[in-house]
Every structure is written in C-alpha cells, then in structure tokens.
C-alpha cells in the first residue's frame, strides 16, 4: 500500500472542463434512415433537391377555371361555365381548360392546362344546361393564383432546407419527408467504452457470492445510461481486476474501438494506481485529481488515440462527475444542444457545514411545504450507498469558500433533469409491507425507511410530510411547523392506523420446536434482531422486560442470554431471510413476512402502526392522497396475514 | 361531391380531450433487459430481493480491528496490534481478528470475523516488532461500526426500492443494478398504427411523378416521430386510396394490431367521407369536428377494439392536433409524465386579426430583440406548407372570443419542446447560394427566402435581424427600430456585400445557340423567369428595358415578346432545373448554379448582394456572427463560379 498515489495538486473544476474539451471525441458522420433520424443532429446542410410541391396544386376542392372568366361574377350575377371533366389528386389531368370552361378539381390535384385559379365548391352550383350538358354556376370572382399553390412555393429546388447542426425532431422529419429524403446524413454518436474495475464486481443477473465480498456492478449500467442520454453510444467491457496486464489490455482494446474510454468501478486505491500507470505508459495523463467533492480522484488524459476519463468508484460520485464534466463533452461531440437545465430555488431545511476547501456538488433532496415553497436537504448517506442515487433530486453547487449554509438560506438546486419534480410526499419511519403497498397508490412518493424512532425524531424537526411509527413509543408524535423556523412543536395528526402481528420467524416446519421467547433465553438458539430504530425491536424489548419481571431478574440479564440480541439488521424481512438461509434459528419479524417467504412463525403479539402527518402539511395533496389510500385499503390489509385495520 | 360531410356541430376542445381520454390505449406490461430500460416506466413496485451490500463491508482502506483494542489510542499514545493478514475486495476473508490483532483491509472488502471497525490507513504506521513480526501502530481510537457499511445498510432485502410508475433514468438504473435486477418489468409502449390516405402519396425514397400530382407523404413519418417522442411505438401502414374497401381493410387490420389507429394524409373531403363511413360501420364515432383551428375535421372514435383518431391532412395541422390532443393520451398510456412544457412570453411583433369563433392554435415564430426581449409573429403560410413546420417555434393559444391581437400585446408561446430556443438570427430576402453557405457558420439561424423586394419591406417593418438584397433596388434599406413601436425608420447598416454573375441558363452545350437577351425576344424560345420579389428579375427587367430603349420601343412590348416572361418560379435554381428537365430553353439564373448543375450559361452581367442589418439589432450575437462569417468567407466566394467579394 506504500506506493498509493496521493492527489496533492488538485486541479480547479474549470481546468478539468478545459482538459476534457481539449480531447477530441468527435465521431465520423454517418447516414441513417429517415425513421431512425429522430434525436440525431444533421451533419451537413440539406438543400431541396426538388420543388415542393412539384406542380401547381389546387389547395381547395372546387373548380379549376381561367380567372378572367369569373371577373365580375357574384351571388346576384353568377358566371356560367361548361364543365369539361374532373381532375383528382394523384392523377394526370386529361383536360385543358379553355375560355368558358372549367374542370372539377380536388384539393391536391394538378392544375390542368389553361386554368390559373380555383373557385371553392361552396361558391358554385351544379346545373344542367338546356343542351343536357353539365354547367357550373360560379357565384364569385377569383384572381389568378387564388387557391393554387404554385410549384416550389413551399420550398424550391436548390433552396436551403435545414442547416448543419439542426437537431432532428418530428418537425424536421416532416420537412425531410416532403423533400423525399429517406437517408439522412447525421453526426455520429461518440462511442464510449466503459471499463469497470474491481475483482468484486458481478454483472446484474449473474449469481452473487456475498461471502466472497462480491457486489453487483452499479457504475457500468448507470454510466452507460448516462452516455446514451447524452447522445453517445455506450459499450461495456468485461470487468478488469487490479492486474496491470489485464487492465492495460482492456484499456487499449477499448481505446481502439471507442472515441472515449471511461473507467470506473473499483473503490480501492490500488486499482486507481494500476490505471494511473497504464495511462502514463500507453497514453498521456493531462490531469489527475480535481478539487471537487465528490470526485477528487478524477483522471483526464488519453489512451492510444482515444480520450480517457477516470471516474470515481462510488456510484453517486461517478454519476455526479460524469454529469458535470463528461456528459457536456459527449453532447458537444454528438452535436446535441445543452439541455435547458432546470433549476429550483429553495430554502435549506437544515444547516450544513462544510470546510474541505474544494467545490462541493452536494446531492440534495426536495420537499415542498404546504404553500408550495421548496425546502432543500442534503442527501449524503456516504460510503457508496446506491439508494442516494434516487433519494436526491439534484445538486447544490457549494463554492470552495462556503463553509456554512444556514437553515432557511436560499440555495439553487440544479435538477438531475428538467423533468425532475419534488416528490408529492416525503415519508420517513418504519419499514412496513402494508405501507409499501399504500405508497404504490400515491404518485411519486419518497419514503426513507429510517425506523420508527428516527422517523419520530425527523418529524419533530419538521422536514418530512409524514412519519410512520410502529409499536409503543416513548415520545409524543409532534412536529415543528417549519423546519427552518423556531415555532413550537405541535401534535401531529394521525392519518390512519392499523395493527400487525409480530413474533419469531423460524425455519419452515419449526425444526427446533421453538415455543416462545423463553426458548431464546434458555436454549442455544441463534437469533437475529432488528435495529434499535425499529418498532419491532421496541415491542420485543418490552416482551423481554416482561419475561425478566416474571423471572424476577433484570432485562439486561435476559437480553444478554439471547444469542444475537445485538445482531441487528435493518429491514423488516432481513431476519426472516437470515433464518431461511440457515444463518440463524429465529428472527424478529411479522407473520406477513413469514407467510410470504414460506417460513414458520410464532406469534408474540400485535402492534399498532400509525401514520402521523406533519401539522404544517396536512393540506398537501400527497398527504391527502395517502390519507385516502389508507381509508380505501381494505384489500391491502386483507392480503397481508396478521394485518387488521 | 354532393354527399360531402359537413362538420356543423363542432365539439369543444375540452370535449375532444375527454373523448380521447375515454378510449383505452393502455398496452400490456412487458419485461425489458436492464440496458434497454432507460426512458421506460416501471410497471410495478420493485422490492429488494437481497441486502445491499450483502455483507459487512469496509468503506475505507486501512486495518480491520476490534474497536475495543483502540480505545484511548491517539497520536501521543498509539495502540499496537499484531498484523495477522490481509482481506481484499472480492475475496473471502481467511483470517479472524482476535483481541490484540488486526488485518489489512481494502475498501469494499468483507469484514473478517472478530473485527467490528476499520482504522483509516492514514492513521496507522507499519512497523516490525522485535520478534520480526509485522505490527501496526494505531494512532486513533475508533468506535464499533466506524468505516464499516453493514449488510443491508444501503437497502435491505424486502425493502421498497422503486414504486410503480417510476420513470427509469440513469439513477434508477443504478439502483436496479445494485439489486442485481437485469430484467425490468415496464409498462408497454402503446402501439400506434398510422394509416396515410390519399392516392397522391409516395413514400420518401421512392420515385415521384409530379406530372401525376404525386407528393411525398409527410404525415406518416412526422406523426410516427411524434408517437415515439410521446413514448409510443409507431407502425406505418401502406397508403390507402379513397376506396372504401381498401380503407376498411387497412383500418381493420391496423385496429387488430394496434392500441390506437391514426389516419391522416389526404386533404380531400372525399377521403374523409370514406373514413367516416368505415368508422361508423366497423366501430363507433364519438366525435367529429372540433372547434379549433387548425383541426376542425378531427375524428375520435373506435375501430374494432382499438381507439381511433382521424387527424387533419395538412402537416402543420396534423402535427398540431397530434401534439395537443393525441400525444397526452399516448404519454398517459405509456405512463410517461407530462413533459415540463416550456413557455415563453413575448410581445406580438405584428397585429393579428381572427374572427372564426373557434379556439386557434396559432403557429408562432420567435425573434429576440437586442435587449433579449422576445417578439412573436404568426407563421401561417397556409395551403399545407411543410416549411412552416420548421419556421415556427411554438403555438399561441388564442381564445375563441379573441378577435384581435395588437402589435406589442403580450402573448404566451407554448414551445414545441422545452429545448426550443429563438433562432440566433432571423434573416429574410434573396435566395443566394453564398448566403446559404454563410448561414452554415451561424448557430441556429432562420432564413426566409422571400426575395429582395419583400425582404426590404419586412426590414422596413423592423421584424427581421437582417435582410439580404440582390441587384438594383428602388427603396432605401431602412428599418424601424422596433416593429411594435412608432419609431421612424433608420438606415440599415451593411454587414457585408459581394457580387454574383447572372444571365441565362441554357441546356448543356447550348444546343439552340442562344447568344443573348435579344434571342429571347426575337426567337421562339421558351423562357423561365424568377418571381418579381427576386433581385435577379429586377436586373433582367432593367436589361430588357435597355434593349427596348436601343430598339426605340417600350419595355412592355419587349417583355411581351418573351415567351415565359410571366412564367415565374420561386427559388434561384428553379429556372435552371426547368431548362435541364427540357421544360424550357432558357432560364434566369446564376453562373454558379449553371456550373453546379452542369448547364450552359450566357453571362448578362453582375449584380451586388448586400446584407443589411436592422439598426436595432446590430449588437445581437447572431448578427455579429454573420458579420464575421462574411468577413472570413473568401473560401465561400472562391468556391462559387462568378462570385466576388
């Protein structure tokens, strides 16, 4: 570990932009069929190769006439012309309109020789002359050219139709169709190779061996989707371990096939070292380390003839750095315009301190208060959490010299895309399967399963719209009306409540014949608990306290006798899954979970789950929607074993 | 024509929305691979099937320790532990950390048994003990859990990961990857069949017979692109003529294969009649005719089990009605959120009268004045012009009871997409090949080739940024500073000028041995002129006037002797193309055009092309860009025969 690279001379973010811009990612132009051209960018000017329309064209249903024959005609004194035939759209005219005659004509038909105007059918009357021939009474006068679209009047051959760099939307496709263009010259999509590094990475869909420390590869697919969103074409390369030769082979192979090579994935410093050496040996390193958080370990350079950017390993960091520095370069090479980035101004809901002296791209979540004003809170679960990818709505750019953001201070959030909107409901609290189903009935909710205790704490601070609390609680459910103000906490409204049956989840068929809580204390059984934020844990602790009292001992003595009382896991199904995996003999859980997973279950009681609304948000539409969903949820409670309203 | 359908009872736009909403377009859900999931919408909730991470994971490079062994350690009084081995990412730990020992550990590696915290490498020193064994000096104390991410801490098995209806962006792809999900259940894309009607339609790429009145099919590809933009899947059906049986067969076939059938294309009333009857016979017509311009002849109903909407035939009308009424229904069925529609508020640059008593969706163009304020002008070329598709930037919704929009009145423009921006330069005037190349060097210009005379008129009214004028002009180049104000016209700045050689374009090799203008007057030659807005026409008229003076006769006598003096076409290449097609013996044109098309050419002189800037816009960046482009355009003038600066 002694040769680990230190990033001492960090570049400014501006230098990083410039370094990436100095690399040439521009792909060769290509030609695509018209029906694949949407979203592409014209590589060159398109001039019309033909007149549109290609002929003088009737633009109304009616009669083709010589305008001169209609002069002076009106309702009182119509002109009468001999009808000599008809011209339909898509047919060659077989008549000539001589003086005193006219021809029936359809919209879009070719003007017959001799005719120079069209009279709308509404201003005419069909009649039969004394000789039995058809005549048309014309009750208006028209000028030459009336209701005729002349050849080339839309666009004429040789005319400039569309300029280079035009992004092709349905409208441009319309004009290209009119010109008969079925092959469109477009700018190529820059090919971006993605090399994920790390011996521990497994592709989604493959088997995962957690015991060997394997995790699914997050960055490859995330960055590939980002590349495609920016107008590039992503190519995934097999995972590279930290071996120099393998890394060199992969990076060189990717550089030969792609306009840009991105590496990402491994969070270990040794992999970064290996990449660093490969780039120095087989290319050029323009920049290593950028003064931005996250993203310090960014590399910019070349491998072979290809551009190269090394992204940090943690998913949120990798995507943030990709969006900030790499996506603009890909868009530039693809000729795509910078998207109209949406920004939202809001007030910080909490204070935030920061003093690392480099620019910070702070992932931020949004919540609207009842008046629609936006509150902003930092999302920093650290340590490579992938859930923060979806728990943040955008980024607040914090200057290197800003050390403190006060609660209530106005900040600007750059949204991840212009279509991002604040969730309609921000909930926190207990992890509960009924709640999860209820949230399916709310549009765009966000729920942070922080547990009952932490949920109550956050409700008290006033940030979330609702908190979901299970089991007995020692605290009143109250919330401050405004997380940035100093108002006194007020009682929270109960939106709805239900009960759930809890107890011990045991292996299918209960092979150890566990009969109750006492067995955990008295027998040699491996137990899995929930963490102390969980309402289930509170109910269990109370039950153990009762047992201790029965036995005339302390609760501590009882809990210390349970093997695994401190083996706490985070979500409601986790203990049951450990039991089914053979890692434990009993776990804390719900009847509903046990039945769903096909495990055995020993009931220890029921506990209440209560949904509290922040008193400052009771009128928010999302809160209202959840209130209604709970009221209408008989089907949900009926579908879950052990649940009752 | 007597049984033509009249649309007397027009429905409100709101009724049309409701009728379309009452049709069910919802497709069946499907499953797509993770790397195709971007942009799709989750069909159901995704719960975590595993803990992420799946094991207790080091989140720093350093040493795995028992936290208790470090209590009290600091820089002054470090703890010393025996190094018993190493654990790397992606490997099963082969050591157990007993009291007094530690193991080297990489970020991402599995915590070995016994260890409950990690000490960052920066706070340690490697040393060799007296016995030769490796020891690690620990210069800080850590608490249990420090720098460890516990199994399930990111998301735990059974936890709610993503809700139904979530649009999948790179961030969601990240979370799905972390969960190992490689097949994603998504909402199906509604299949939309497009039946174009009209005997005159030809698919782009196929041969066009203009003499038979054929035109390229614009609506099929335009609407197909619109369908895909809205999240549907478009399917094109062969063109239907106006024959009942054929139309019935096609509509029924499409209804069996699609969730929604759209018809569009024919502008003739008889085709609408045929469709109308098919829908009444084979389905149900909910609504015919909507009180909106454009779009009156819209039909809404069902064919077989499929929803049906009939769009108007003219491309701008078809796309506008599609966007307003159909796209929202497709997005709804696909589960896509309504896009954040961008609107721009601007001032009407001209007055606009309207009194048809129905809501109007007025296509509008944008131009920014020098201060960045937006001016709005109606784009209505009528008669099915396809160029208006790209000459408008959005739509102004004008209420049915608004009869008059004053110049200067504020209006709101709904942009065609949030990324639409006003062109950087709005030019009008002469059609010129050098100018066309110069515009390639300006970002997003818009140029309306209305001719020199009309260009000067529009410049005088103050709307465009520049006007391009060729040949002798009888008017001063002036512009009002503000098209909505009453300021006096001011002289326009000349941005640049060049000359071009003009004359007669004749067939290759000049088979008729045309020697000059006199031949057009004296011999039986078919001539093609340019329209009277063209600067070329002015130069020609002057030359013919000179000829008349030489001969002691009137200009009128001379021009009347030219067969085709009034056969005027619109763009600079059109006469030459007519000559080459054998439709004329000589045409008015440029040497550059004749050489490019390989035609013969007889020079009649040179004329100046002058680019005038609106005095109120000389500081606009786009104007400046064009000024620079002209100054740097030696290559352009050198590449065009007969051009000189």
Beta bridge mates, B271: none
- CB–CB contact A212 B110 (8 Å): yes
- What is the spatial distance between Cα B98 and Cα B502, in angstroms, rounded to a whole number? 96
Task: Extract the tokens encoding A90.
Answer: 């898509």
- What is the spatial distance between Cα B436 and Cα B643, in angstroms, rounded to a whole number? 14
Exposed / middle / buried, residue B276 (Cβ in 10 Å: 0-12, 13-18, 19+): middle
Tell me, what's the pLDDT at B579? 94
Task: Extract the tokens encoding B217.
Answer: 């099919």
- CB–CB contact B198 A89 (8 Å): yes
The SS3 of residue A526 is: coil
Q: What is the mean pLDDT of residues A359-367?
A: 92
Render pLDDT for A526-560 as a digit per residue (tens, 0 to 9). 999 998 889 999 999 999 999 999 999 999 999 99
Compute the nearest-CA separation of A410 from chain B (Å): 23
Confidence of residue A3 (pLDDT cuts 50, 70, 90): very low
Q: What is the mean pLDDT of residues A238-257?
A: 87
Burial B357-382 (b: 16+ CB within 10 A, else e): ebbbbbbbbbbbbbeeebbbbbbbbe
- What is the spatial distance between Cα B384 and Cα B570, in angstroms, rounded to a whole number? 17
Tell me, what's the pLDDT at B486? 63
Tell me, what's the pLDDT at A481? 78
Render pLDDT for B410-431 as a digit per residue (tens, 0 to 9). 999 998 877 788 999 999 999 9
For A179, A346, B438, B453, B617, the CA distances from B445, given in Å and listed in that order, are 20, 36, 10, 21, 14
Please determine, for residue B487, whether its predicted confidence score (pLDDT) is greater than 90: no
Query: Residue B439 is nearest to which of A155, A160, A212, comparing CB atoms?
Result: A160
Query: Residue B445 is nearest to which of A163, A267, A268, comparing CB atoms?
Result: A163
Residue from A229, A643, A280 nearest A418 by CA: A229
Beta bridge mates, B119: B63
Minimal-distance CA residue of chain A relative to B320? A171
Beta bridge mates, B149: B57
Tell me, what's the pLDDT at A138? 95
Please determine, for residue B366, whether its predicted confidence score (pLDDT) is greater than 80: yes
Beta bridge mates, A119: A63
Tell me, what's the pLDDT at B90? 87
The SS3 of residue B617 is: helix
- A196 chain-B contacts, CB cut-off 8 A: none
Tell me, what's the pLDDT at A90? 87
- B425 Cβ contact partners less than 8 Å away, ≥ 6 residues apart: B439, B442, B444, B445, B446, B465, B466, B620, B622, B623, B625, B626
- What is the spatial distance between Cα B451 and Cα B468, in angstroms, rounded to a whole number? 8
Compute the nearest-CA separation of A551 from chain B (Å): 32
Minimal-distance CA residue of chain B relative to A597? B158
Q: What is the DSSP string of B111-134?
A: PPBT--EEEEGGGEEEEE-TTS-E
- CB–CB contact A110 B213 (8 Å): yes
Minimal-distance CA residue of chain A relative to B322? A170
Tell me, what's the pLDDT at B114? 93
In the block, which residue shows the tokens 């949904």?
A: A611
- B445 chain-A contacts, CB cut-off 8 A: 163
Residue from B285, B289, B413 nearest B347 by CA: B413
Query: Residue B158 is nearest to which of A153, A313, A571, comparing CB atoms?
Result: A571
Render pLDDT for B595-624 as a digit per residue (tens, 0 to 9). 999 999 999 999 999 999 999 899 999 999
Q: What's the start-to-end Cα distance of chain A, in Å?
A: 58
- CB–CB contact A1 B61 (8 Å): yes
Least confident of A381-385, A387-391, B513-517: A381-385
Q: What is the mean pLDDT of residues A245-264?
A: 93
Q: Would you say how long chain A is, in residues?
A: 645
Confidence of residue A474 (pLDDT cuts 50, 70, 90): low
For B246, B249, B390, the CA distances from A90, given in Å and listed in that order, are 16, 21, 26
Please determine, for residue B468, whether its predicted confidence score (pLDDT) is greater than 60: yes
Please determine, for residue A393, whether its predicted confidence score (pLDDT) is greater than 80: yes
The SS3 of residue B582 is: coil
Tell me, what's the pLDDT at B63? 97
Please determine, for residue A475, whether its predicted confidence score (pLDDT) is greater than 80: no
- What is the spatial distance between Cα A587 and Cα A591, in angstroms, rounded to a whole number? 11
- CB–CB contact B108 A213 (8 Å): yes
Least confident of A256-270, A489-503, B460-474: A256-270
- CB–CB contact B167 A419 (8 Å): yes
Ranked by mean pLDDT, the top range of A296-310, B93-107, B359-373 is B93-107
Please determine, for residue B434, whether its predicted confidence score (pLDDT) is greater than 90: yes
Tell me, what's the pLDDT at B566? 86
- Contact call for residues B326 and B25 (beta carbons, < 8 A): no
Exposed / middle / buried, residue B77 (Cβ in 10 Å: 0-12, 13-18, 19+): exposed
Minimal-distance CA residue of chain A relative to B105? A268
Task: Extract the tokens encoding B132.
Answer: 């030769």
- B161 chain-A contacts, CB cut-off 8 A: 387
- CB–CB contact A177 B221 (8 Å): yes
Q: What is the mean pLDDT of residues B579-592?
A: 94
DSSP B161: E
- B50 chain-A contacts, CB cut-off 8 A: 208, 210
For A67, A69, A79, A124, the CA distances from A73, given in Å and listed in that order, are 11, 9, 5, 11
Compute the nearest-CA separation of A158 from chain B (Å): 5
Q: What is the mean pLDDT of residues A311-331?
A: 90
Residue from A509, A502, A642 nearest A572 by CA: A502
Tell me, what's the pLDDT at A634? 95
Please determine, for residue A384, whether its predicted confidence score (pLDDT) is greater than 80: no
**For a pLDDT cut of 90, what percent of chain B falls above it?**
69
Tell me, what's the pLDDT at A163? 95
- Which of A213, A216, A572 is the best residue to mutate to test the B interface, defined by the most B CB atoms within 10 Å of its own CB? A213
Exposed / middle / buried, residue B524 (Cβ in 10 Å: 0-12, 13-18, 19+): exposed
Tell me, what's the pLDDT at A469? 95
CA A417 and chain centroid, separation: 8
Residue from A286, A267, A290, A288 nearest A358 by CA: A290
Render pLDDT for A327-361 as a digit per residue (tens, 0 to 9). 999 999 999 887 777 788 999 998 898 877 888 99
Confidence of residue B339 (pLDDT cuts 50, 70, 90): confident
- Contact call for residues A309 and A21 (beta carbons, < 8 A): no
Please determine, for residue A61, whether its predicted confidence score (pLDDT) is greater than 80: yes
Please determine, for residue B7, whether its predicted confidence score (pLDDT) is greater than 60: no
- What is the spatial distance between Cα B598 and Cα B579, in angstroms, rounded to a whole number? 11
Beta bridge mates, A63: A104, A119
Please determine, for residue B266, whether its predicted confidence score (pLDDT) is greater than 70: no
- A241 chain-B contacts, CB cut-off 8 A: 90
Render pLDDT for B35-77 as a digit per residue (tens, 0 to 9). 999 999 999 999 999 999 999 999 989 999 999 999 999 999 9
Render pLDDT for B384-404 as a digit per residue (tens, 0 to 9). 788 988 999 999 999 988 889
Q: What is the DSSP string of A573-593?
A: THHHHHHHTTS-SEEEEEHHH
- CB–CB contact A175 B212 (8 Å): no
Compute the nearest-CA separation of A155 from chain B (Å): 7
In the block, which residue shows the tokens 């209820």?
A: A438
Render pLDDT for B192-210 as a digit per residue (tens, 0 to 9). 999 988 888 899 999 999 9
Render pLDDT for A510-528 as a digit per residue (tens, 0 to 9). 999 999 999 999 999 999 9
Minimal-distance CA residue of chain A relative to B34? A221
Tell me, what's the pLDDT at B296? 75
- What is the spatial distance between Cα B45 and Cα B103, in angstroms, rounded to a whole number? 41
- CB–CB contact A319 B171 (8 Å): yes
Count of A-B CB contacts under 8 Å: 439
Higher pLDDT, B7 or B129: B129
CA A298 and chain centroid, separation: 24
- What is the spatial distance between Cα A502 and Cα A642, in angstroms, rounded to a whole number? 8
HEC letters along B29-94: CEEEEHHHCCCCEECCCEECCCCECCCCEECCCEEEECHHHHCCCCCCCCEEEEEEEEECCCCCCC
Confidence of residue A200 (pLDDT cuts 50, 70, 90): confident
Query: Residue A225 is nearest to which of B38, B55, B385, comparing CB atoms?
Result: B38
Confidence of residue B265 (pLDDT cuts 50, 70, 90): low
Tell me, what's the pLDDT at B4? 39
Render pLDDT for A142-155 as a digit per residue (tens, 0 to 9). 998 899 998 888 99
- B38 chain-A contacts, CB cut-off 8 A: 225, 228-229
Least confident of A90-104, A147-161, B236-250, B425-439: B236-250
Render pLDDT for A97-144 as a digit per residue (tens, 0 to 9). 999 999 999 988 999 999 999 999 999 999 987 788 899 999 999 998
- Which of A83, A86, A88, A200 is the best residue to mutate to test the B interface, defined by the most B CB atoms within 10 Å of its own CB? A200
- A2 chain-B contacts, CB cut-off 8 A: 126
- What is the spatial distance between Cα A469 and Cα A478, in angstroms, rounded to a whole number? 12
- A266 chain-B contacts, CB cut-off 8 A: 89, 108
Q: How many other CB atoms are found less than 10 A from the CB of residue B396?
A: 21
- B204 chain-A contacts, CB cut-off 8 A: 34, 176-177, 179-182
Confidence of residue A7 (pLDDT cuts 50, 70, 90): very low
Please determine, for residue B3, whether its predicted confidence score (pLDDT) is greater than 50: no
Average pLDDT, chain B: 90
């Amino acid at each position: 570990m002694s040769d680990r690279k230190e990033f001492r001379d960090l570049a400014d973010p501006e230098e990083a932009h410039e370094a990436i811009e100095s690399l040439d990612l521009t792909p060769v132009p290509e030609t695509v069929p018209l029906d694949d051209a949407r979203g592409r960018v014209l590589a060159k000017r398109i001039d019309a190769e033909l007149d549109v329309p290609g002929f003088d064209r009737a633009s109304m249903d009616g009669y083709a006439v010589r305008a001169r024959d209609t002069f002076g005609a009106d309702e009182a004194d119509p002109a009468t012309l001999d009808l000599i035939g008809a011209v339909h759209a898509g047919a060659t005219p077989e008549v000539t309109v001589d003086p005193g005659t006219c021809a029936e004509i359809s919209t879009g038909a070719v003007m017959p020789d001799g005719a120079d105007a069209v009279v709308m059918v509404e201003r005419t009357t069909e009649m039969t002359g004394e000789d039995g021939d058809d005549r048309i009474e014309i009750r208006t006068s028209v000028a030459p050219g009336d209701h005729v679209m002349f050849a080339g009047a839309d666009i004429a051959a040789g005319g400039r139709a569309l300029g280079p760099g035009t992004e092709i939307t349905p409208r441009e496709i319309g004009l290209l169709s009119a010109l008969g263009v079925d092959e469109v010259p477009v700018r190529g999509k820059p090919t971006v190779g993605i090399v994920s590094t790390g011996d521990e990475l497994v592709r989604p869909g493959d088997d995962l061996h957690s015991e060997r420390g394997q995790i699914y590869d997050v960055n490859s697919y995330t960055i590939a989707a980002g590349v495609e969103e920016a107008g590039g074409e992503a190519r995934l390369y097999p995972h590279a371990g930290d071996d120099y030769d393998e890394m060199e082979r992969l990076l060189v192979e990717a550089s030969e096939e792609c306009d840009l090579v991105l590496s990402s994935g491994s969070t270990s410093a040794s992999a970064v070292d290996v990449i660093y050496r490969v780039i120095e040996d087989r290319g050029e390193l323009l920049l290593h380390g950028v003064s931005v958080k996250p993203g310090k370990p960014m590399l910019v350079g070349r491998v072979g003839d290809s551009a190269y950017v090394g992204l940090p390993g943690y998913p949120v960091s990798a995507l943030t750095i990709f969006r900030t520095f790499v996506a603009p370069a890909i868009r530039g090479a693809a000729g795509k315009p910078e998207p109209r980035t949406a920004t939202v101004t809001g007030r910080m809901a909490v204070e935030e301190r920061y003093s690392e002296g480099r620019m910070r791209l702070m992932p931020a979540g949004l919540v609207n208060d009842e008046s629609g004003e936006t509150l902003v809170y930092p999302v920093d679960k650290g340590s490579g959490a992938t859930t923060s990818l979806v728990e943040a709505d955008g980024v607040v750019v914090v200057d290197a010299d800003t050390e403190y953001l006060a609660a209530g201070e106005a900040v600007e959030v750059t949204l991840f895309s212009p279509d991002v909107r604040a969730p309609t409901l921000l909930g926190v609290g207990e992890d509960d399967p009924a709640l999860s189903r209820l949230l399916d009935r709310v549009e765009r909710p966000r729920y942070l399963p922080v547990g009952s205790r932490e949920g109550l704490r956050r409700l008290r601070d006033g940030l979330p719209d609702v908190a979901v609390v299970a089991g007995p609680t020692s605290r009143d459910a109250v919330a401050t009306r405004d997380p940035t103000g100093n108002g006194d906490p007020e009682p929270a409204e109960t939106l709805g409540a239900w009960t759930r049956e809890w107890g011990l989840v045991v292996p299918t068929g209960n092979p150890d014949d566990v009969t109750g809580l006492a067995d955990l204390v008295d027998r040699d059984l491996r137990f899995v608990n929930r963490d102390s934020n969980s309402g289930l844990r509170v109910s269990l602790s109370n039950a153990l306290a009762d047992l201790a009292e029965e036995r005339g001992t302390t609760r501590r003595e009882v809990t210390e006798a349970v093997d695994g009382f401190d083996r706490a896991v985070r979500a409601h199904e986790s203990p049951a899954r450990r039991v089914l995996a053979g890692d434990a003999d009993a776990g804390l859980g719900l009847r509903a979970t046990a039945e769903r997973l096909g495990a055995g279950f020993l009931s220890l009681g029921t506990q209440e789950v209560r949904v509290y609304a922040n008193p400052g948000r009771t009128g928010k539409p999302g809160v209202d929607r959840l209130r209604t969903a709970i009221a209408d949820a008989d089907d949900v409670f009926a579908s879950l074993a052990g649940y009752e309203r």
